[in-house]
């Protein structure tokens, strides 16, 4: 029986299937493995109403109680990490070890949120005026929503809901319809951890569900992660409807290689960061800027390493890279190979010809396959350089100086991640200061901040004011209140219509 992935509302999966549904694929074979329900506006309304009804009691649950539930959830997620990784791999296509890695990085946010009693401590000032005290508190918003992309079906939701729920909000998750099953396992584990029904809900769906969340008057805040056009749309629509919105968008991450860098380490890093998860990571390196004269030698080293990679199904322990998520996405990514040649770049490794384990070439094997592709002599500003390709395609751009490389990075529309590779501390320090990108690596190709910092890019990679998780996440999911208090005694009496001044 093909599986049916439905909504999770009020602590249980909804029995009644939605009127509309979409296919779920196994990317390694191209076969349909099940269907996901696509919520109507009424189904979204039901989830929001359930979350709104659960809010008053959860908001009043003590900090210690909330932390205890989070600790139990952390243990359950850890115990089920293999099951979760296998689900992710079966719908997304990434290899099992990579799926386990995303679960581990998501769990770090749960661990961060376990410290919520400390994170929500406010400030207190005694005697701001004689016998008057002042203190600040942060309170939850109410029902908040998370709308997430296909590429991290566990980790990206986990950037959001542990912090939101720890802060006392109730949550409605709208996962990607392309790999929706992880959301239901996480929902089941929340219930097992003792989270009251209705605090965490899932609506499966597409634009119809997103649009209803963006206009629903009881949704107070929306966290979004996905492509830039949709991030901009979500930010503009959500804020127009009076909601707090943080919307993280797409990326085009450059790695600047100075001539003094160790080229073997650079080649390792470029291959790991370019082709891990088939390049379907918002922090993947998609462009290497090689400062003269290292270009030729670096390309040789990258090509040699690419030739040794094993491409195969995600559930094969020998596979290092799996297929892409859908046929449509695979074909779109592959179309850039022809564009590159038409633009005068040099296709040094053609991923359509890559051997797939258990199959033939990537182009000839059933499933959504494209092997690691290396394109040299890419011109800055060309389509292949500018567009977010979001696949296993690594472009090499030759530059003559640090300054030329920096300008190329700063001229790009996106500003999610970047890295410099050098042994020159002064150059690295200059780069961290001058580059217009939100997350910077120094000899670290994928500089994803730990859970206790906040994740987010600049420019078209983020719309809104706060990054996700860390203290900015706590800030996003709460609003501040300042109380000024005086315990009256008879000496405070007397009428005075003047403007109060401190005494």
Confirm or reject binding of residue 208 to ligand NAD (CB under 6 A): no
Burial class, 418, CB count within 10 angstroms (exposed 0-12 / middle 13-18 / buried 19+): buried
Q: Of the listed pieces 6-14, 135-143, 219-227, 479-487, which binds ligand NAD according to CB under 6 A? A: 219-227
- To the nearest 10°, report the CA torsion of 297, 276, 383, 330: 130
Confirm or reject binding of residue 153 to ligand NAD (CB under 6 A): no
- For residue 344, give the 3-state DSSP assignment: coil
What sign results for the dihedral spanned by CA atoms 166, 141, 103, 270?
A: negative
- Site track for ligand NAD across 161-200, x = CB under 6 A: -------------x-xx-----------------------
Confirm or reject binding of residue 148 to ligand NAD (CB under 6 A): yes
Confirm or reject binding of residue 278 to ligand NAD (CB under 6 A): no
Give the footprint of ligand NAD on residues 74-103 (CB under 6 A): none
Catalytic site residue 114? Answer: no
Confirm or reject binding of residue 451 to ligand NAD (CB under 6 A): no
Give the footprint of ligand NAD on residues 226-255 (CB under 6 A): 226-227, 230, 248-251
C-beta neighbour count of 286 within 10 angstroms: 24
Work out which of 373, 461, 466, 478 binds ligand NAD, going by CB under 6 A.
Answer: 461
Query: Which residues lie below 8 Å from residue 417, measured CB to CB, with a gap of 6+?
Result: 251, 253, 282, 283, 437, 438, 439, 440, 441, 446, 447, 448, 457
Strand partners, 479: 139
Q: Are 47 and 343 in contact (CB under 8 A)?
A: no
Give the footprint of ligand NAD on residues 330-389 (CB under 6 A): 388
Which of 103, 282, 288, 462 is catalytic? The answer is 282
Q: How many CA atoms lie within 13 A of 424 on its CB side?
A: 12
Count residues binding ligand NAD (CB under 6 A). Answer: 27
Question: Nearest-CA neighbor of 39 among 25, 64, 57, 22?
Answer: 22
Confirm or reject binding of residue 107 to ligand NAD (CB under 6 A): no
Distance CA 158, CA 104 (A): 10
- For residue 38, give the 3-state DSSP assignment: strand
Confirm or reject binding of residue 415 to ligand NAD (CB under 6 A): no
Confirm or reject binding of residue 112 to ligand NAD (CB under 6 A): no
Residue among 142 and 415 whose Cβ is closer to ligand NAD: 415
Query: Binding residues for ligand NAD, per CB under 6 A?
Result: 147-152, 156, 174, 176-177, 206-207, 210, 225-227, 230, 248-251, 282, 388, 390, 416, 457, 461
Cite the active site residues: 282
């Amino acid at each position: 029986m093909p599986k049916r992935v439905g909504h999770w509302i009020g602590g249980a999966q909804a029995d009644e299937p939605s009127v509309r549904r979409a296919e779920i694929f196994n990317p390694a074979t191209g076969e349909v493995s099940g269907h996901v329900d696509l919520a109507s506006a009424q189904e979204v309304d039901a989830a929001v109403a359930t979350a709104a009804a659960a809010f008053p009691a959860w908001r009043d649950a003590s900090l210690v109680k909330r932390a205890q539930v989070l600790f139990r959830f952390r243990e359950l997620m850890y115990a089920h990490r293999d099951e979760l990784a296998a689900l992710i791999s079966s719908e997304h296509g990434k290899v099992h070890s990579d799926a386990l890695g995303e679960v581990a990085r998501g769990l770090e946010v749960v661990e961060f949120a376990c410290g919520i009693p400390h994170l929500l401590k406010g400030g207190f000032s005694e005697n701001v005026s004689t016998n008057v005290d002042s203190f600040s508190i942060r309170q939850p918003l109410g029902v908040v929503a998370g709308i997430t992309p296909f590429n991290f079906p566990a980790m990206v939701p986990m950037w959001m809901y542990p912090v939101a729920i720890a802060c006392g909000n109730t949550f409605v998750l709208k996962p990607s319809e392309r790999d929706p099953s992880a959301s239901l396992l996480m929902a089941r584990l929340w219930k097992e951890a003792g989270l009251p029904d209705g605090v965490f809900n899932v609506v499966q769906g597409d634009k119809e569900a997103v649009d209803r969340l963006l206009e629903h008057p009881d949704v107070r805040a929306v966290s979004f992660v996905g492509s830039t056009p949709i991030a901009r749309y979500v930010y503009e629509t959500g804020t127009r409807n009076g909601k707090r919105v943080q919307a993280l968008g797409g990326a085009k991450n450059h790695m600047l290689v100075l001539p003094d860098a160790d080229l073997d380490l650079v080649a390792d890093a470029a291959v790991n960061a370019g082709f891990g998860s088939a390049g379907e990571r918002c922090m993947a390196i998609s462009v290497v800027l090689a400062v003269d004269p290292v270009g030729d030698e670096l390309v040789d080293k990258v090509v040699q390493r690419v030739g040794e990679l094993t491409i195969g199904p995600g559930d094969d322990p020998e596979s290092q890279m799996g297929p892409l998520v859908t046929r449509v996405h695979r074909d779109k990514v592959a179309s850039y190979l022809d564009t590159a040649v038409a633009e005068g770049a040099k296709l040094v490794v053609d991923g359509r010809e890559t051997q797939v384990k258990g199959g033939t070439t990537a182009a000839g094997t059933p499933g959504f396959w494209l092997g690691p592709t290396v394109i040299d002599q890419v011109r800055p500003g060309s389509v292949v350089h500018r567009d977010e390709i979001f696949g296993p395609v690594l472009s090499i751009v030759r530059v003559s100086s640090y300054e030329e490389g920096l300008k190329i990075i700063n001229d790009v529309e996106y500003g999610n991640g970047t890295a410099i590779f050098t042994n020159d501390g002064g150059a690295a320090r200059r780069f961290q200061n001058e580059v217009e990108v939100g997350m910077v690596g120094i000899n670290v190709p994928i500089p994803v901040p730990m859970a206790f910092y906040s994740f987010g890019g600049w420019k078209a990679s983020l719309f809104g004011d706060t990054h996700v998780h860390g203290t900015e996440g706590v800030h996003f999911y709460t609003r501040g209140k300042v109380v000024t208090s005086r315990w009256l005694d008879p000496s405070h009496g007397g009428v005075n219509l003047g403007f109060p001044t401190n005494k």
